């Protein structure tokens, strides 16, 4: 297995629109492990479409409990189970992840009981290990060191960037955050930084298409990173490559890659990718 990142969903926010990108989800393939980071809706289909078997998923990390990062966690694991899961699968997430999982399993109690009795399956309760994490070193997955940094994403306080250091490469996922300078030190020297980004010119586009959210503009400006500032983080971190993710907006034809490049290159002159669903990013920078 090649060490790479597959961007499965690159859109910021929970809305799904015709022919548009899907909400946030990524797959990190590192040192023989298939690691899911965030579970926006549509993830299960996207994993299969990327040529990865559901039964080959090794571990799942959730950066925070906003729906566009969480909504398909339960359905993904449940579908893996019905596909033929016979081993434990760990979930790592912030405070509240255990309550999410318990609630999901309660909602599936009828079907779960039937499948155990009718199909002879082992209970899914016995196959899922939920780990609640905070800031710091949080896991070692087959030699891959995983660490987290609490970032600034109001009103959510339990939101974490994640860093994965493997045998040959390192990758950082910013999670959702406003411009947060400590993220540069956390990302120092990483081969790839996957960072959220927002275009100033695109904010009104989002507001025009999102009725019933009177405080949305305030949230966007307080909780997300303008594209030039993502470039600052990449520059100060001296990363090998910057990949823009959780794009705001991601599904407005009025904006294309040139707008993102123009914004980011005010501060970042290195290699830059504008995330697209299904994009594969090799971790070897040779």
Q: 28-85, pLDDT tens digit by residue? A: 999 999 999 999 999 999 999 999 999 999 999 999 999 999 999 999 999 999 999 9
Q: 110-154, pLDDT tens digit by residue? A: 999 999 999 999 999 999 999 999 999 999 999 999 999 999 999
Q: Taking 80 as the threshold, does the pLDDT of residue 284 lie above it? A: no
H/E element, 162: strand 160-165
Q: Which residues 6+ apart lie within 8 Å of 173 measured at CB?
A: 26, 37, 38, 63, 161, 162, 163, 194, 245
Beta carbons of 25 and 38 less than 8 angstroms apart: yes
At residue 202 the predicted structure's pLDDT band, cuts being 50, 70 and 90, is: confident
Q: Taking 80 as the threshold, does the pLDDT of residue 213 lie above it? A: no
Q: Counting beta carbons within 10 angstroms of the beta carbon of residue 88, is it exposed (0 to 12), middle (13 to 18) or buried (19 or more)? A: exposed
Q: Which of 164, 162, 139 is nearest to 151 (CA)?
A: 162
- The 3-state DSSP class for residue 132 equals strand
Quote the pTM value: 0.95
Beta carbons of 279 and 259 less than 8 angstroms apart: no
Residue 91 forms part of a structural domain: yes
Q: How many Å apart are CA 219 and CA 199, to the nearest integer?
A: 14
Residue 173 belongs to a domain with what CATH number?
3.60.15.10
Q: What proportion of the chain, given as a percentage, has pLDDT over 90?
A: 86
Q: Could you tell me the residue range of the domain that residue 200 belongs to? A: 4-280
Residue 57 forms part of a structural domain: yes
CA 77 and chain centroid, separation: 16
Q: Taking 90 as the threshold, does the pLDDT of residue 286 lie above it? A: no
The token duo for 30 is: 């590192």
CA angle 248, 254, 256 (to 5 degrees): 70
Residue 87 forms part of a structural domain: yes
According to DSSP, the β-strands at 160-165 and 144-150 are antiparallel
Q: Which of 269, 270, 268, 272 is nearest to 245 (CA)?
A: 272
Task: Give the residues across from 244 on adjacent strands.
Answer: 195, 274
Residue 81 forms part of a structural domain: yes
Q: In terms of pLDDT, which residue wins out, 211 or 182?
A: 182
Residue 205 forms part of a structural domain: yes
Q: How many Å apart are CA 127 and CA 168, to the nearest integer?
A: 30
Task: Order the strands of the 59-61 sheet from edge to edge.
Answer: 128-132, 89-93, 59-61, 33-39, 25-30, 4-9, 279-282
Residue 59 forms part of a structural domain: yes
Structural domain count of the chain? 1
The token duo for 185 is: 């030190």
Weakest-pLDDT range from 141-145, 206-210, 233-237, 272-276 = 206-210
Residue 286 forms part of a structural domain: no
Q: Which of 147, 150, 138, 224 is nearest to 190 (CA)?
A: 147
DSSP3 helix / strand / coil % (the chain, rounded to 5) = 30, 30, 40
Q: Taking 90 as the threshold, does the pLDDT of residue 271 lie above it? A: yes
Beta carbons of 169 and 191 less than 8 angstroms apart: yes
Q: How many Å apart are CA 25 and CA 8, to the nearest integer?
A: 5
Residue 274 forms part of a structural domain: yes
């Amino acid at each position: 297995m090649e060490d790479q990142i597959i961007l499965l969903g690159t859109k910021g926010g929970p809305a799904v629109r015709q022919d548009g990108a899907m909400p946030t989800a990524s797959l990190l393939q590192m040192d023989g492990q298939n690691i899911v980071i965030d579970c926006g809706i549509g993830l299960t289909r996207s994993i299969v479409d990327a040529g990865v078997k559901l039964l080959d998923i090794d571990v799942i990390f959730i950066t925070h409990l906003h729906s566009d990062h969480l909504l398909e966690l339960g359905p993904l694991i449940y579908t893996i189970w019905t596909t033929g899961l016979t081993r434990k699968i760990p979930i790592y997430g912030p405070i509240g992840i255990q309550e999410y999982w318990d609630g999901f399993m309660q909602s599936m109690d009828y079907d779960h009981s039937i499948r155990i009795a009718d199909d002879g399956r082992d209970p899914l309760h016995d196959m899922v290990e939920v780990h609640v994490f905070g800031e710091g070193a949080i896991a070692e997955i087959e030699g891959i060191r995983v660490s987290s940094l609490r970032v600034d994403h109001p009103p959510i306080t339990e939101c974490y960037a994640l860093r994965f250091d493997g045998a040959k490469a390192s990758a950082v996922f910013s999670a959702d955050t406003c411009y947060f300078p400590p993220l540069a030190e956390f990302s120092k020297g990483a081969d790839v930084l996957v960072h959220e980004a927002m275009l100033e010119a695109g904010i009104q586009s989002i507001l025009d298409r999102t009725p019933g959210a009177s405080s949305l503009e305030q949230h966007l400006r307080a909780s997300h990173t303008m594209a030039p500032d993502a470039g600052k983080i990449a520059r100060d971190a001296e990363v090998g490559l910057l990949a823009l993710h959780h794009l705001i907006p991601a599904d407005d034809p009025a904006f294309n890659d040139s707008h993102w490049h123009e914004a980011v290159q005010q501060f970042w002159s290195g290699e830059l990718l504008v995330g697209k669903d299904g994009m594969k990013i090799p971790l070897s920078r040779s």
